[in-house]
Amino acid sequence: METTQFLKKTAIFARCSDKELKTVIDTAKERSFTAGTKIIREGHPGGRGFYLILAGTAEVRKGEKLLATFRPGDYFGEMALLLEDTPRTADVVAVTDVTCLVITSWDFKALLATHPEIGATIMTELARRLRDTDSALSE
CA distances from 104 to 11, 111, 123, 133 (A): 19, 10, 16, 24
In this predicted model, which residue has the larger pLDDT, 54 or 48?
Answer: 54
Counting the structural domains of the chain, the total is 1
Q: Taking residues 50-59, what's their average pLDDT?
A: 95
CATH number at residue 27: 2.60.120.10
pLDDT of residue 73 exceeding 70: yes
Task: Give me the amino acid identity at 20.
Answer: E
Distance CA 13, CA 89 (A): 24
Domain that holds residue 48: 3-138
Distance CA 11, CA 74 (A): 8
pTM over 0.95: no
Using an 8 Å Cβ cutoff, are 13 and 61 in contact? Answer: no
Using an 8 Å Cβ cutoff, are 27 and 103 in contact? Answer: yes
Mean pLDDT of the chain: 85
Please state the separation of Cα 38 from the chain's center in Å: 15
Q: Taking residues 76-84, what's their average pLDDT?
A: 75
In this predicted model, which residue has the larger pLDDT, 81 or 137?
Answer: 81
Predicted pLDDT of residue 56 = 98
